[in-house]
Amino acid sequence: MVKAREVFSNQHLNTIEKGETMKKILTSMVLVLALAAGSTTVFAANLKWPYLIYPGQQGAMEVLWQDTTTETTNTLCWGTDTTYSTGCDTNDVEYSASTHQHMYTISGLQDNTTYYYQVKDATNGVYGSGSFITAPSANATSIRFLGIGDTRSYPYNLDGVMQAMRNFYTQPGNADYQRLVIHNGDWVSSDGESYWTSQWFDSTKTDIVNFTANSPINGCEGNHDTSGSYPNGTSQYFPKYFPFPYLHATHNGTATTFNPAVVQTWANLYWSFDYGPVHFTVVDNYSNVAAGSAQFNFVQADLAASTKPWNILIYHEPAWSAGSDGDNTAVRVFEQFLGPQATNPQNGHYFDLVYNGHSHNYARTGAYSLAGANGDTTIALNVPHFTTGGGGAPVYQPDFTNTGSYPHVITAWPADEFMAFDVEGKTLTINTYQVNGLASYASGSVQSGPLPVTTGISPIEQIVLNHFTNVSSQVTAQVGNIVYNRATRTYNGSVTITNNGPALTGNVDVVLDGMINIQGIGNADNEYSTATPKPTSKIAQNTNLVTNVTLANANGSNNGEPMIRATTTGLANGASVTVPLQFSNPTNAKFTFNPITYQE
Amino acid sequence: MKLQFFVIAFVLLIAGSAFASFSATYDVSVDTGSLGLSGTSGYLYLQYNPSTSIASTATVSNFVTDGTLGAQDTVHVVNGSAVSGTLPGAVTFNNTNGINDYNHAITFGSTLNFLLSLSSSSNPATTSGASTFSLGLFGDALGATPLVNVSNPNYAGTAIAINLNDNGTSSVTQYAPQASATPIPAAVYLFGSGLMGLVGIRRKMNK
């Protein structure tokens, strides 16, 4: 019997002997305390500790675990504190008797509530415990969750990333991020039992144990979780361990009711779920997505039927990335989904962002205009396409050039990283963080000895998306008075907004389209770069965007472009407002932008 | 003969209009006496900066002052590569760079005056940008000592700014009430130019 807490204590004794700094010791102590607060305990009879998925049902949470032939009767109990007194299931809920695979969906839970649970066996004792936060009410307008991807191959790295993610949500004010994690695929390096056991369910990787016991992880399969190639890829063990509600699954080309207990070749593992104000549509990259296919029709209908204001498309292989794994042209078919019920008011698309992995780095690709896309009509404009592939797999160097196989790159960075999503009404804030302290693990060269002790996180970039109403068609905007101040070394100007249409009310904002100002950029840390010379900027080249000028008096942003509040009291018909602009332009470069006016 | 001159002047007006797709001319004056600058040494700091991709030029001409011009300062400008000419002669600014600036020492008198011609060879566009000519008055070459609009943190030292907008219009922002820019209608300006040219030709012929 090995307790997670003991594993950590031993690691930190070793660390002390190696003469690490006092800062690391203190960090470790904090980690131990944090883990003690919500730890799970792993027993020898427990092959796979209790972990969570969100089954897409309001008031429900699914707990999964696997034990051995020494089991007798397993019991799952839960409650709003660690007395686990709200409910118990004592029916030994095995979904695969031959492998002692257990799954139980706790239902009837209160919305937006923290629950604690424990799994134990009559003979073997406690297998593990954890906690979770239930989904918010269906009409909630705010929600937070985390994102990760490409966790395969190097469990030391994954352990470090999950350690950092857990540290992140245990910070004051961040507790809400525990509630859900989205995963974009390549969970392990190969779709085989041994890979899942050694890379995802290794009980010595205590940060993985603790993280997965306390946060449900929902997502899609990746190419490494699949056998065969598009459009005939199939998966056996991914759906066994992550049995999401695959309502359209097929086996050998025939529609077959999904049964996770049957380990066989499953295809068409696409599905969707609502979570508060967000709808997630999860695509199976390796089954047919071509126009007219069952999956294509499902995705189109699913997005069109969404009643949620925010819609996220999840699949593994990006339509556009910063490399170095190739882009997937088949999934570009989804970019053309447009319609009158579109949720993205800026471009008429049904989805607000695309969440991918596959290339092991962070990248944001996209285009703001057809001209900015160099005439490429296949990309949905004003939709950020995120690659977050730094979940533990060996880090890849991104291609920043925009001149070769990877067009439409805006920002990119090679690092172990994760993402944090924060929906607040009409605004979605997305932060990407580099996990520091994993440099020697990032290439996979170090995969033994004590687990990594991460040294905090650094921001890669912050992107804010707003569902404000574009009212540019009814206003006239005129930029002018661009005067350089030699004392302050700033360029000062103004934009005058005149309302030619119906009265605008409340907050009216102006976005300087064509210019990107990214919060978090500029704190470059090259520790994972293998390129020579190492990149010094996270902003890609040849973006057709103004990247070297900052709107110094911006008070917001939209999709990376700076935004400034024009008025808080609306604008009557015929009225004008002049908004001062102050720019930092250290290279004194010529710059232009297109002011777009929004009413909040 | 007089009628002949007027016909030629009219033809020159039409021809001039065709060459400049949009343009504007201003008579710019600064009452430096009212500003209390008479006898004060300082610098005239001129800029022509774009927030547009449409190419245009600004030309300062007919510069007159009862003060005394010193030397042009080419050291304390940010980028003078697209600026040509020296006061009191014509100075022409292209909006090629992010900033196109010109600095000239002066002992201020009670007034200064010049013509400003803004001109683009492109057609008016639907974009929202502009190129801005501005006149600044400073007590030092570096621009650290503004002499007008001192309390405005962003536009300290700037007396007036004149925009040539992408849509073909122009506009003036007075930062100091002692500075003014009076638009000269294009017809009057070109007609006058044509007349002046013809007068010159006539005199030459008479000689």
The CA–CA distances, whole Å, from A202 to A44, A66, A128, B85 equal 12, 12, 14, 77
Cα distances (angstroms) measured from residue A417 to each of A52, A215, A590 = 22, 17, 35
User: Cα(B48)–Cα(B101) distance, rounded to whole angstroms?
Assistant: 6
pLDDT per residue as tens digits for the range B83-92: 999 999 999 9
As a whole number of Å, the end-to-end CA separation of chain B is 17
Q: Answer with the one of A138, A161, A180 that is the final residue of a domain.
A: A138
Does residue A274 share a domain with residue A192? yes
Counting the structural domains of chain A, the total is: 3
Would residue A89 count as lying in a domain?
yes
Question: What CATH number does residue A393 fall under?
Answer: 3.60.21.10
Tell me whether residues A488 and B52 touch, CB distance under 8 A.
no
Q: Are residues A505 and A364 in the same domain?
A: no
Is A464 a member of any domain?
A: no
Domain spans in chain B, listed from the N-terminal domain onward? 26-181
Both A225 and A299 in a single domain?
Answer: yes
How distant, in Å, are the alpha carbons of A389, A550, A571, A575, B188 from that of A503?
46, 31, 6, 9, 40
Q: Among the listed ranges A38-47, A89-98, A472-481, B165-174, which one has the minimum average pLDDT value? A: A38-47
Residues A200 and A323 in one domain: yes
**Touching check for A595 and chain B: CB below 8 Å?**
yes
Angle of helix A155-169 relative to helix A22-37, nearest 10 degrees, comes to 80
Contacts of A487 in chain B (CB under 8 A): 143-144, 146, 156
What confidence category does residue A344 fall into, taking pLDDT thresholds of 50, 70 and 90?
low
Residue of B nearest to A486 (CA): B143
Please state, rounded to an integer, the average pLDDT across all residues of chain A.
89
Task: Name the nearest CA neighbour of A274 among A108, A184, A140.
Answer: A140
- Order of strands across the sheet that contains A94-96: A46-53, A61-67, A101-106, A94-96
How many contacts, defined by CB atoms under 8 Å, are there between A and B?
98
Q: Are residues A103 and A153 in the same domain?
A: no
Mutate to test the interface with B, among A473, A476, A484 (most CBs of B within 10 A): A484
Using only C-alpha atoms, chain B has a radius of gyration, in whole angstroms, of 18
Per-residue pLDDT tens digits for B143-186: 999 999 999 999 999 999 999 999 999 999 999 999 999 999 86
Average pLDDT for residues A499-527, to the nearest whole number?
A: 87
Q: What is the ipTM of this complex?
A: 0.87
Residue A550 lies in a domain: yes
By Cβ distance, the residue of B79, B144, B155 closest to A492 is B155
Q: Do B173 and A592 count as a contact with CB atoms less than 8 A apart?
A: no
Residue B36: CB atoms within 10 Å: 11
Which of A108, A138, A168 is the last residue before a domain boundary?
Answer: A138
- Domain for residue A238, yes or no? yes
pTM for the predicted model, two decimal places: 0.89
Domain co-membership, A572 together with A501: yes
Q: Is pLDDT above 50 for A312?
A: yes
Structural domain boundaries enclosing A88: 1-16+41-138
pLDDT band at A182 (very low <50, low <70, confident <90, very high): very high
Residues A131 and A150 reside in one and the same domain: no
Q: Which two tokens stand for residue A170?
A: 């245990």
Written in H, E and C, the secondary structure of A524-569 is CCCCCCCCCCCCCCCECCCCCCECCCEECCCCEEECCEEEEEEECC
Q: Which residues of B touch A472 (CB under 8 A)?
A: none
Cα separation, A564 vs A140, whole angstroms: 28
| Average pLDDT taken over every residue of chain B | 88
pLDDT tens digits along B38-90: 999 999 999 999 999 999 999 999 999 999 999 999 999 999 999 999 999 99
Residue A133 sits in the same domain as residue A151: no
- The answer to whether residues A132 and A166 belong to one domain is no
Of A477, A481, A595, which is closest to B132 when you measure between CB atoms? A481
Interface residue of B154, B160, B167, B169 to substitute, partner A, most A CBs within 10 Å: B154
Question: What would the mean pLDDT of A221-234 be, rounded to a whole number?
Answer: 96
Using the Cβ of A477 and the Cβ atoms of chain B, whether some distance falls under 8 Å is answered with: yes
Q: Are residues A394 and A513 in the same domain?
A: no
Residues in chain A: 600
Whether A369 and chain B come into contact, CB under 8 Å, resolves to no
Residue A47 lies in a domain: yes
Q: Which of A115-119, A236-240, A349-353, A449-453 has the lowest mean pLDDT?
A: A349-353
Mutate one of A369, A473, A482, A496 to test the B interface: name it (highest B CB count within 10 A): A482
Is pLDDT at A21 greater than 70 in this prediction? no
Final residue of a structural domain among A424, A441, A458: A441
Nearest to B132 among A483, A594, A595 (CB): A483
The C-alpha of B10 sits at a distance from chain A's nearest C-alpha, in angstroms, of 34
> Residue A479 is part of a domain; what is its CATH number?
2.60.40
Mutate to test the interface with A, among B44, B76, B99, B138 (most CBs of A within 10 A): B99
Please tell me whether residues A339 and A221 are part of one structural domain: yes
**In-domain check, residue A460:** no
| A232 lies in the same domain as A380 | yes
Q: How many CB atoms lie within 10 A of CB A585?
A: 19
